[in-house]
Amino acid sequence: MDINEKQNVINAQSFFCPALDKVVGYPLQPKRIVSLVPSQTELLYDLGLDGEVLGITKFCIHPNEWFRNKTRIGGTKNIDIEKIRALGPDLIIANKEENVKEQIWALETVAPVWVTDVNNLEDALEMIEMIGTLVGRKQKAERLTEQINLRFTQSPTPNPQLRTCYLIWREPYITIGGDTFIHDMMKRCGLRNVFESGTRYPTIDIEQIKDSNCELVLLSSEPYPFKEKHINELRSPIPASKFLLADGEMFSWYGSRLLKAVDYFSALQKQISSL
C-alpha cells in the first residue's frame, strides 16, 4: 500500500446505506459534492457547504444563488452522468424515490453515492443527521433536527382532521397514498387523506374525488404547477368541496425547509377556516 492509498484509508468512513442495502465507503471530509435532490440541496446550503457543493439539478431552486451559479446536471430523473463525471465528485447524494435506480447504479462507478429514503418526519430527521455526519457537519445537523422537532412538538395537531384530497398532477389527476411523506405532513397539518388506503400515488378521476366526500381539495404547486384556473375547472363538478392552492415545498421537502413548515401549516389552517 503506497502513501496515497494509506491516506485514503485514513480519510475514509464506511456506513450501511439501507436504500442501497450495502456498506459503502465515503470520504471523511468530502470536498466535491453533487446533490440530485432539491430539498437536500437546500439542506446542504443550510449546513454551510457552499464551497463543497459543485453540482445540483435544474429543480434545485433554493437557494437562488446556488440555482444561478452551480453547475446543473439535468433533472432529478434525467441526470447527465457524464457532466457529473466531469465534476470529479467525491460524494453524490440521491434519493430512492426522486431519482432513477438505474442512473444511481451508473453513478456508483463515478463516486460514492448516499441514497436517502424518507417517508415521514422521523425519517427526515434521521436523514438530516446522517447527511450531517457524511459531510462533516454533525453538530450543525443535530442542532437543526432539534429545532425542527421542537417546532412540531410545540404545535398540536388540529382535531378533528379535515377530509382532504391532495392533488400533485393533472391529466390524469394523481393524488398521494398513506405511505408517503406528504401524507405524514398532511396529518400534522390537521388534514385526513381520503386516499390513504390506495397505492403510493393513485391515479384518480373527478368522480372518485367527488365520491370520496372530501371537504377540501388541495392543489399542490409541485410537481404539477396548479393555478387558480385549475380550481375553477373543479368547482362545478365537485360543488360540495372547498379548494385551495398549496405550497408543495412545505408538504414534500424533507430537509431544512421543515423549519418553515409548522408556521405554514398554521397559516393554512386559518385560510381554510375562512373559506
- Cα separation, 167 vs 217, in Å, equals 7
Number of domains in the chain: 2
Tell whether 145 and 20 lie within a shared domain: yes
In a domain, 3, yes or no: no
**145 and 175 together in one domain:** no
Whose grid coordinates read 398513506? 178
- Could you say which of 122, 151, 180 is where a domain stops? 151
Shared-domain flag, residues 186 and 262: yes
**In a shared domain, residues 168 and 142:** no
Q: How confident is the model at residue 10 (pLDDT cuts 50, 70, 90)?
A: very low
171 in the same domain as 106: no
Residue 190's domain comprises: 162-273
Same domain, 126 and 191: no
How do residues 39-72 score in pLDDT, each as one tens digit?
Answer: 999 999 999 999 999 999 999 999 999 999 999 9
Return the amino acid letter for 143: R
Give domain status of residue 182, yes or no: yes
Domain shared by 110 and 138, yes or no: yes
269 and 146 together in one domain: no
Q: Is 72 exposed, middle or buried (0-12, 13-18, 19+ CB in 10 A)?
A: middle
Tell me which long-range contacts 222-226 makes (C-beta under 8 A, separation of at least 24).
Answer: 222/168, 222/248, 222/249, 222/252, 223/168, 223/169, 223/248, 224/167, 224/168, 224/169, 224/170, 226/167, 226/170
Does a structural domain hold residue 156? no
CA distance 3 to 9: 10
Among 250, 229, 242, CA closest to 272: 242
The domain spanning residue 37 has which CATH number?
A: 3.40.50.1980
Do 179 and 50 reside in the same domain of the chain? no
> Do 34 and 144 belong together in one domain?
yes
In one letter, which amino acid is 79? I
pLDDT tens for each residue of 103-123: 999 999 999 999 999 999 999
- 123 and 180 co-located in one domain: no
- C-alpha atoms less than 13 angstroms from C-alpha of 137 in its C-beta half-sphere: 22
Instruction: Please identify, among 151, 173, 192, the residue that sits at the C-terminal boundary of a domain.
Output: 151
The structure's pTM equals 0.93
